[in-house]
Structure 1
Amino acid sequence: MLKNSSILITGGTGSFGQKFTQLTLKKFKPKRLIIFSRDEMKQWEMAKLFKDDKRIRFFIGDVRDKDRLHRALQNVDYVVHAAATKIVPTAEYNPFECIKTNINGAMNLVDACIDQKIKRVIALSTDKASSPINLYGATKLASDKLFIASNSTYARGNQTRFSVVRYGNVMGSRGSVMPFFLSLKENKELPITDKRMTRFMISLDQGVELVWHAFKDMVGGEIYVKKIPSMKVTDIAKVIAPRAKHKIIGIRPGEKLHEQMISLDDSNTTYEYKNHYKILPQIYEWARDNFRIKNGKKVSKGFIYSSENNGQWMTKAELHKWIVKNYSHIGKI
C-alpha cells in the first residue's frame, strides 16, 4: 500500500517520526516522505541523520496553521499525525497552548486532509486519552473523537478515511522514564514517583508496525491498541541502576499511577485479535459493522486493559537485553 506513495508525518522530527521514517523508507520505498514540523533545528539535525535522502522532504509548519497544512498536503496519499503537546505538567500549566495544538490542530488537519483528498490518515493517541485525569489526556480524547467522527464525511462521498492507534510508554522515546533513569545511572539515588507505579512497554519499532497494520486494515473510525507487556517502574530502575537507592518523590500534577488503554466503557465495543485490540466507535452503528469487526472476538464483559492488571509482564532480563541492544553507546548496564 505505501510502496511508491507520498506520505506526510506531522511532528516528524520526534522519536516516533524518526523511527517511522527510517523503517518505512527501508520496507516500503515510498516515492516521497514529508516531515512536517515547526522546529527548523530539529529538521536540520534529522536531515544529517538521513544523509540528504532525496525521498525525504522537510516542510516547516505548525498544525495550528490550516493554510500551511493545506499546502504541505498537496499530492500526498497518506498521513501520520504525530504532532502534539504531550508533556503532562507542561499541558497542566499551559492549557490554552495544549488545546491549540492537540484539538485545534486536529481539526485543521481533518479539514485539510479532506480538502486535499488524502486517502488514509492515522492519528497517534495515548493511554492518557483513556479515562483521562489530566489536560493532555483530555485533549487527546477530544482529538481521537474528532478523527473518528470525521469518517462520516467520507460516508457521504468523501474518500478520506481516519483511524487512530493508541499505545503507552514507548521505551527509549524522549518523553519516557528510561532515558531519564539512564542519565542518572551513576548516581546513588533515583527519584521514583510512587513505588506502585506500572507502565506498558512498547518499542518504537512496534509502534511503527502498528501504524503500518492500521493503514492496511482500517475501514475508518477504528482505534488500534497493541498487546504489549507491563513493568513496574521500580523494576525499570533496578535494571538500569541496580545499586541505586530509590527516593519516593510523589506523583506529578496530572500523572497516573497506572496506564490504561481500554476503559470499561470502551470495552462494550472492543474486539480482540491475535496481536492487538480494536475499539470500534459507538456512533453510526459502526461497532456492528462486519467490515470493521472482521475476524475479531468481542472482549469479555467488564474488560479493562490497564498496566497493573495486564496478563503479560516484561521481565528484568528482557528489559536488560533490550537496553544493551539499543543503548550500547552509553556503556555497561
Structure 2
Amino acid sequence: MQSRVLGWSRSAKRLVVLALDMGLSILATWLAFSLRLDMLHWPVGAQWWVYGLTLVLFVPVFIRFGLYRAIFRYTGQAALVATAKATFVYALILLPLLLWLQQWIWVPRSLGVLQPLIFFLLVGASRTGARFWLIGLGRVDGQSSGRFLIFGAGTAGAQTASAMGIAAPFQLVGFVDDDPTKVGHSVNGVPVFAASSLASLVIDQGVTDILLALPTASRARRKAIIESLRHIPVHIRTLPDWGDLASGRVTIQDFKELDIEDLLGRDPVPPNTDLLARNLAGKVVLVTGAGGSIGSELCRQIVAERPRQLLLLEHSEYNLYSIDQELQRLCTAHSFAVELVPLLGSVTNLGRLHEVCRLYHPQTVYHAAAYKHVPLVESNPKEGIENNVFGTLNMATVAQDHGVESFVLVSTDKAVRPTNVMGASKRMAELVLQALSDRDLQKASTRFSMVRFGNVLGSSGSVVPLFRRQMMAGGPLTVTHADVTRYFMTIPEAAQLVLQAGAMASGGDVFVLDMGEPVKILDLARRMVELSGMQVRDETYPDGDIAIAIIGLRPGEKLYEELLIGDNPTPTAHVRIMKAHEHFLAWPELQMQLQALRNAIEVNDPIAMKAVLRDCVQGYQG
C-alpha cells in the first residue's frame, strides 16, 4: 500500500493532502463548537457559514507557507514549525472575522482560539502519522543498513537529524559534541556524547558513518576535528547544501565527501571590494581561456562586479557553450545587467585577436588561456610553447595596439626554476610582459601584470578527483614520489585574488599569492583513504582496503614547487598577495630570443626550443 501511494503523481498527492486538511478543518470546527457548548453540536442555519469560512481562510495561508510542497516521509521538526506559523496567521485572520460575524450569526467568541488550536493538533498528528506509516520504505526487513553519529549538537545538527528522517536506511546513534554543556543531554530525545569518547563509541555502537554538522566552524577548527577523527575506522562526510537540507529531501547518500579544503584548514580572507571593482565595474572585460578551470571562475566573479560587457574568448566550442549558458543563468538569477559575448578563437590567431579588440574595445584583459598539463606539454613542446609563449605575446601586443588599460596574466608556481617545458613556457610568458612593460614605461599605456600561484583544487588534472576515482575503483592511489609536495588553493579564492592583484598593478608587476603551507601528496592520499572509513593497505596492514602505489616522477615533474625566484617579496595592500622583484631580459634581447624560438617551432626542433628556454629562463635545465 505504501508503495502504491508513493507511486502517485505529485499533483495527486497534493490534492489528497488538501482534501484531508479540509476534512480536518471541518472536524476541528465541529469539535470547537462541541467543546464550547459542552454537547455534541449540529450546525443550525447560518452557522454553516462558519464551517465554510474556515475552509476559505486556511487553504491560501497553508499554500503560502509551502505546506503542500513538503514530502511527508521526510518531514520533521521544521515542518511542524512551519505548520504552527501558518496556523497562527490563519488564527489572526479568523478571530476578527468571527467577531464581525456575531452581528448576524451567533458564534462563541472562544471559537476563534479553539478551532485553530484543534486544527493545528489534527494537522500535526496527520503529518506525523503519515511519516510513521511510510517509514518501512527505507528499511530492508526492518533492519537498518548502517549506524551514524552527527558531530555537532547545535541547530545544524538537530536540523540534519530532522531532515534525514527515520525513513533513512541508517540509524542515528546520537550526537557528538566537544561542548561540555551539551554532553549528557539530549536533542529531540537523541543523546549527546563527548567527543573524547568517540573511538570507544564507534566500536561499542558499531558506528559506520560520522556526519559533520558544523557549517559555521572555521576551516582551521574543521581541520582539527577531522584530524582527530582520522584514525577512527568510519566514513566521514559533511553537510549537503542548506537548501536541500531544509527542504526535507536529504538522505545519508546526499551528504558530501570531505573536500580537500576541509583538510587544508585555511580560511579565506574577505575580499577588498574596492580592489575587485576597480578594473571591472562598468567596463568591457575580456577573458581568454574563458571555459577553463580558472578562466570560468574568473568569469563568474567578474559578472558579479557588473561590467558593461564580458567577452568570453575560448578555442573549445563545448567549453565556450557551457560557460556562456552558465553565466546567462547566473545573470538572470541575480539580475546582473551584463552583456555576454561568446567568442570562438585561439590566442595563437593574431588576426582574430585584432578583430575582437577592434570590434569590442576591451579595457581589461585577463589572460588565462594556456596549456598547463605538465606531461602533455613535455610530450608536445611545440604546441605548448606556441600557445603559452606566443599566444601571450599576441594578446599582449594586440592589447597595446588597441589601448587596453590593464592586462593580467594568470601564471603558475611551475614558472619558478622550472624542470619542464610547461613551467619554462609560462616563465617565458612572464618575461614577455615584463619586457614589454619596461620598453613602454614612458608611454604609460597598457599596465601589464602577472599573478603566480600553485595548484588549484578541482581544476582539470587535479589530484583530488583522481584519488576519488581510484578509490571508487578499489585502488591503488597513485603517487609519483613519496616526498612530492604541492601548494593548494581553491579555485574561487585564486580567482578572487587574481582580480584584486591585477587592480594593484602599476606595470610589469609579478604578484605571488600566499598559498599557505605545502601539502605532502602521500599524506593527502592517506588522509583521503582513512577519512572514507577505510584503511591503507601496506606492509604494516597487509589486509587493508586501499593500496598506495609510488609510480615515479612523470617527465618534467618536480618534487617541490616554489613561488619565488628571488627572496625579496614585498607586501601589498592585501595580506595574501605579495610582490616579487625578479630579473628579466630587456626587450631587444628578448626579441632576438623569441625569433630564435619561433624559428625552432617552425621546423619543430625540440632541442633548439629547449636551448632557447635554457638561455632565457633562470634555473631551467630541460
Please state which band the TM-score falls in when normalised by the shorter chain: 0.7 to 0.9
Rounded Cα–Cα distance in structure 2 between residues aligned with 1:42 and 1:209: 21
The match for 1:253 is 555
Task: State the match for 1:58 in structure 2.
Answer: 342
Match of 1:25 in 2: 303
**Aligned match for 1:39, one of 303, 312, 316:** 316
Alignment partner, residue 377 of structure 2: 91
User: Offset of 1:156 from its aligned partner?
Assistant: 3.0
Deviation at 1:284, TM superposition (A): 10
Paired residue type of 1:241: V
Give the equivalent residue in structure 2 for 1:49: 326
Shift of 1:153: 4.0
Cα deviation code 1:277-301 (max 9, x no counterpart): 211244699xxxxxxxxxxxxxxxx
Aligned to 1:270: 569
1:319: which partner in 2? none
How many residue pairs align between the two structures? 281
Structure 1 residue 112: Cα displacement: 0.2
**1:227 maps to what in 2?**
514
Quote how far apart the aligned CAs of 1:15 are. Answer: 1.0
Deviation for aligned residue 1:241: 2.5
Partner of 2:581: 280
**Structure 1 residue corresponding to 2:353, chosen from 58, 61, 69:** 69
> 2:524 matched to 1:236?
yes
Cα deviations across residues 17-41 of structure 1 (Å, max 9, x unaligned)?
A: 1111112212x11111111111111
Q: Following the alignment from structure 2 to structure 1, what is the Cα–Cα distance between the partners of residues 482 and 582? A: 36
Amino acid at match of 1:276: I
The answer to whether structure 1 residue 112 and structure 2 residue 402 are counterparts is no
How far apart, CA to CA, are the structure 2 residues paired with 1:29 and 1:210? 18
Q: 1:166 aligns with which of 440, 452, 457?
A: 452
The alpha-carbon distance between structure 1 residues 231 and 70, as it changes in their structure 2 partners (threshold 3 A), is same
What residue in structure 2 maps to residue 15 of structure 1?
293
Give the whole-Å Cα distance in 1 for the aligned partners of 2:552 and 2:326. 38
- Residues of 1 paired with 2:463 and 2:475: CA distance? 17
What TM-score, normalized to structure 1? 0.80
Deviation for aligned residue 1:248: 0.7
Distance 1:77 1:282, change over 3 A: same
Which of the numbers 408, 419, 428 marks the counterpart of 1:133? 419
Q: Write the distance in 2 (CA, Å) between the matches of 1:102 and 1:83.
A: 8
TM-score, normalised via structure 2 length: 0.44
- Does the 8 Å contact 2:301/2:496 carry over to 1? no
User: Which fold has the larger relative contact order, with Cα–Cα distance below 8 Å and residues 6 or more apart in sequence?
Assistant: 1
The Cα shift of 1:272 comes to: 3.5
Cα 1:249–1:63 shift into 2, 3 Å: same
CA drift at 1:103: 1.0
**1:84 is paired with a residue of what secondary structure?**
coil
- Confirm or deny: 8 A CA contact 2:457 2:464 kept in the other structure: yes
CA distance in 2, matches of 1:198, 1:192: 11
Alpha-carbon RMSD across the aligned residues, in angstroms, is 1.8
Q: Give the corresponding residue for 1:326.
A: none
Q: Secondary structure at the match of 1:133?
A: coil
Of the candidates 425, 431, 451, which is equivalent to residue 145 of structure 1?
Answer: 431
Whether the 8 Å CA contact 1:4–1:31 is kept in 2: the answer is yes
Superposed CA offset, 1:186-227 (max 9, x none): 223211111111110111112112212222211011111111
Query: 1:121 — aligned with what?
Result: 407
Q: 1:176 to 1:188 in 2, by over 3 A?
A: closer
Structure (1/2) with the larger strand percentage: 1
1:111-146 deviation digits (Å, cap 9, x = unpaired) = 100001000000011111100111111111110000
Distance change (3 Å), C-alpha of 1:283 and 1:90: closer
Q: Cα offset for 1:71? A: 1.5
Partner of 1:182: 468
What code does the residue aligned with 1:38 have? H
Secondary structure, in 3 states, of the residue corresponding to 2:455?
coil
CA contact (8 A) 1:224 1:278 kept: yes
Structure ID, larger Rg = 2
Which position in structure 2 is the counterpart of 1:208?
495
